[in-house]
Amino acid sequence: MRIVIALGGNALLKRGEPMTADVQRANIRKAALALARVAHDHEIVVAHGNGPQVGLLALQAAAYKDVAPYPLDILGAESVGMIGYLVEQELVNALPAGTRCATLLTQIEVAADDSAFARPTKPIGPVYQVEEAQRARAAHDWPMVEEAPGKWRRVVASPLPKRIIQIETIKLLVDAGVIVICAGGGGIPVIRTASGSLQGVEAVIDKDRAAGLLAENLEADAFLMLTDVEAVYDGWGTSMQKPIQRARPQDLAGMSFAAGSMGPKIEAACAFANQGGIAGIGRLEDARAILEGRAGTLIRTS
């Protein structure tokens, strides 16, 4: 089977953990072992999140006063290169000698008139306490959102992905038996100018929507979104919550899921399933079990 796997940012960096290189490498090493168990029998393509990392780079860039802060698309490329390097290295270490891997910085085209640019909703960066959030907002003019009581994060525009610029290159690599790490952080968002050239924009594409587009373009058999939650829950956060083991897209259509977390995953999963594939959501360490229907949530039309 050809499987596109999207690694959630919180699967690579747990909430509250310091964003040190050692912590991230240790977490990615665990992720690589889980991916290797799937790659033993299947063809995998790996995407990943970058929310905490790109937020940290934005803070570091803003702290350096001698030059103007770097735009978010360039910071996104920096973070994707860093994470991709670690994922590729640990994956090669976890797989048999001779396994071929490649990390590809991936540009994804969005619409310049996407309504998301007028209403930033995508959280990036670290979690702030109230006073820290107020200082960050005043210093950098960042929109902020309260994700949980007293927990604030910066939000940026999250336009929908339209086209993966390097999709033909990705296909060549995958068809040649290379494990490709691509569409990191949802891809680097670009628009097409009136002259036809590409131009980066200040935005972050949702990684699950981007990975879903990647899975569709590659005609994958399965699409896994791996995070730190064991399954999709009906009534999440209430006394009546219960895990959903299997579902059809139409079963989920009338249900409510958090817009900043599970919502995009459900949308991406249902879109892929409606194209005839199998979509799975669950914990990183359960990757193979999710694929085999022994853990997590499986979404398919039948």
Tens digits of per-residue pLDDT, 60-80? 877 777 887 788 899 999 999
d(CA 295, CA 281): 9
Domains of the chain listed by start with CATH number: 2-113+159-220 (3.40.1160.10)
Q: Which of 165, 208, 164, 214 is nearest to 45 (CA)?
A: 214
pTM of the model: 0.90
Tell me if residue 9 is catalytic: yes
**162: annotated active-site residue:** no
Catalytic, 207? Answer yes
Torsions phi, psi for 99 (to 5 deg): -65, 135
27, 184, 185, 207: the catalytic one is 207
The residue count of the chain comes to 302
| Sheet of 43-48, strands arranged across | 101-103, 179-181, 43-48, 2-7, 222-227, 278-283, 297-299, 246-247
State pLDDT tens for residues 206-254. Answer: 999 999 999 999 999 999 999 888 999 988 878 888 999 999 999 998 8
Known active-site residue 265: yes
SS3 234: strand
To the query of whether residue 10 is one of the catalytic residues in this protein, the response is: yes
At 277-300, the pLDDT tens digits run: 999 999 999 999 999 999 999 999
**Which has the higher per-residue pLDDT, 258 or 11?**
258
Beta bridge partners of 48: 7
pLDDT in tens, 236-249: 878 888 999 999 99
Helices marked H in 40-176 = 51-63, 72-94, 130-140, 167-175
